[in-house]
């Protein structure tokens, strides 16, 4: 739904004064369609652990951006008989924004498919997009208060201005915490953003222990949980499809030897998403 919101916001921010109705429809279709088209992979994504690698894969790759944009350029001519180079650039922006916004949340995306199956995420924006919807409500109220046509373009562009401020703040705040943790000697750091600005849950690896902690703007950084990592043969675990998908998906994984089983999980979602917390019988 947030990607659809972005699509309408892209359309609203376009200067459409000299466009006829048919051209406007073509740009609306390109704006909204391009903003959601990468998620077409949900049509074939499995509900099991395979979902981790079947969703946000090749359709979300940087290499697909011009392909999707060209598709909407061609469709605008076939359906609306509109031939305008700006449709390509509009669709290009819509697809690119979808991919980048997915990259910024903890779930991540396959930016470099098909050359690598690795999932990339920086986790500085929450998955749900509550702040963007709050900004959209403000914009909707402004549109009701200022109904003259000459105000609409400025108001829609205000959405992008405020969104950029929010995203920049989250990135800067996360970078501050990241370098602080790295300076303390942690080898690897990952984030899962909270719903409100300035709230982050961090996961930092050092000495075979993943530390989970919380940080709020103006508050103290505190450790909430530790996840000791037991040494296991990851290459052997990769023979199990679910384990292999978690290893490819997660920035780092925690492995625990439970005797007859090996527990493998992504600490960012431990206990929250079943497919990211599995137990595999040991091979005798």
* Whole-prediction pTM: 0.90
Residue 244 lies in a domain: yes
Residue 242 lies in a domain: yes
| CA 117/CA 250 separation, integer angstroms | 11
Q: Do 211 and 257 belong together in one domain?
A: no
Residue 198 lies in a domain: yes
Give pLDDT, residue 15.
Answer: 92
Q: Do 12 and 93 belong together in one domain?
A: yes
Q: Do 185 and 247 belong together in one domain?
A: no
Residue 76 lies in a domain: yes
Residue 154 lies in a domain: no
Q: Do 216 and 240 belong together in one domain?
A: no
Residue 269 lies in a domain: yes
| CA 247/CA 140 separation, integer angstroms | 43
Q: Do 52 and 72 belong together in one domain?
A: yes
Please identify, among 228, 244, 259, the residue that sits at the C-terminal boundary of a domain: 228
Give pLDDT, residue 47.
Answer: 61
Which residue has better confidence, 87 or 224?
87
Helices 85-104 and 21-36, axial angle in degrees (round to 10):
30
Q: Do 34 and 83 belong together in one domain?
A: yes
Q: Do 196 and 260 belong together in one domain?
A: no
CA distances from 9 to 4, 155, 163, 245 (A): 9, 10, 11, 35
Q: Do 22 and 101 belong together in one domain?
A: yes
Q: Do 60 and 115 belong together in one domain?
A: yes
Give pLDDT, residue 49.
Answer: 61
pLDDT at 3 over 80: yes
Domain extent at residue 224:
171-228
pLDDT in tens, 22-53: 999 999 999 999 999 999 988 877 666 667 77
Q: Where are the alpha helices (DSSP H) in the chain?
A: 2-12, 21-36, 51-54, 65-80, 85-104, 130-145, 149-183, 234-237, 241-249
Give pLDDT, residue 46.
Answer: 66
Residue 164 lies in a domain: no
Over range 96-120, report the average pLDDT.
91
Q: Do 16 and 103 belong together in one domain?
A: yes
Give pLDDT, residue 118.
Answer: 86
Give pLDDT, residue 235.
Answer: 82
pLDDT at 284 over 70: no
Residue 71 lies in a domain: yes
Give pLDDT, residue 278.
Answer: 87
Confidence of residue 207 (pLDDT cuts 50, 70, 90): confident
pLDDT in tens, 58-71: 999 999 999 999 99
Please identify, among 82, 104, 121, the residue that sits at the C-terminal boundary of a domain: 121
Over range 155-167, report the average pLDDT.
95
pLDDT at 196 over 90: no
Please identify, among 228, 250, 272, the residue that sits at the C-terminal boundary of a domain: 228
Question: Which neighbouring-strand residues pair with 216?
Answer: 199
pLDDT at 148 over 90: no
The count of domains in the chain is: 3
pLDDT at 75 over 90: yes
Question: Which neighbouring-strand residues pair with 213?
Answer: 202, 223
Q: Do 107 and 60 belong together in one domain?
A: yes
Q: Do 19 and 113 belong together in one domain?
A: yes
Give pLDDT, residue 113.
Answer: 92
Give pLDDT, residue 79.
Answer: 95
Task: Tell me the pLDDT of the chain averaged across its residues.
Answer: 90
pLDDT at 174 over 70: yes
């Amino acid at each position: 739904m947030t990607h659809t919101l972005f699509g309408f916001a892209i359309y609203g921010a376009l200067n459409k004064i000299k466009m006829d109705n048919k051209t406007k429809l073509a740009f609306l279709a390109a704006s909204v369609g391009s903003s959601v088209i990468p998620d077409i992979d949900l049509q074939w994504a499995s509900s099991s652990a395979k979902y981790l690698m079947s969703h946000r894969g090749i359709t979300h790759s940087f290499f697909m951006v011009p392909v999707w944009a060209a598709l909407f350029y061609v469709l605008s001519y076939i359906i609306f008989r509109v031939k305008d180079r700006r449709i390509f650039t509009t669709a290009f922006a819509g697809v690119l924004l979808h991919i980048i916004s997915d990259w910024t949340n903890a779930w991540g995306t396959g930016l470099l498919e098909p050359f690598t199956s690795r999932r990339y995420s920086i986790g500085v924006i929450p998955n749900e997009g509550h702040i963007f919807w709050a900004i959209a409500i403000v914009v909707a109220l402004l549109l009701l208060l200022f109904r003259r046509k000459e105000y609409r373009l400025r108001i829609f562009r205000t959405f992008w201005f405020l969104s950029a401020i929010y995203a920049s703040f989250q990135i800067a705040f996360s970078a501050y915490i990241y370098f602080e943790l790295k300076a303390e000697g942690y080898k690897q750091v990952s984030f899962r953003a909270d719903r409100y600005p300035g709230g982050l849950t961090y996961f930092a690896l050092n000495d075979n222990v993943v530390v989970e902690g919380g940080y709020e703007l103006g508050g103290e950084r505190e450790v909430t949980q530790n996840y000791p990592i037991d040494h296991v043969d990851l290459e052997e675990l990769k023979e199990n499809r679910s384990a292999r998908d978690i290893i490819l998906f997660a920035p780092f994984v925690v492995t625990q030897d439970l005797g007859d089983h090996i527990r493998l999980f992504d600490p960012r979602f431990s206990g929250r998403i079943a497919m990211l917390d599995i137990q595999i019988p040991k091979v005798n």
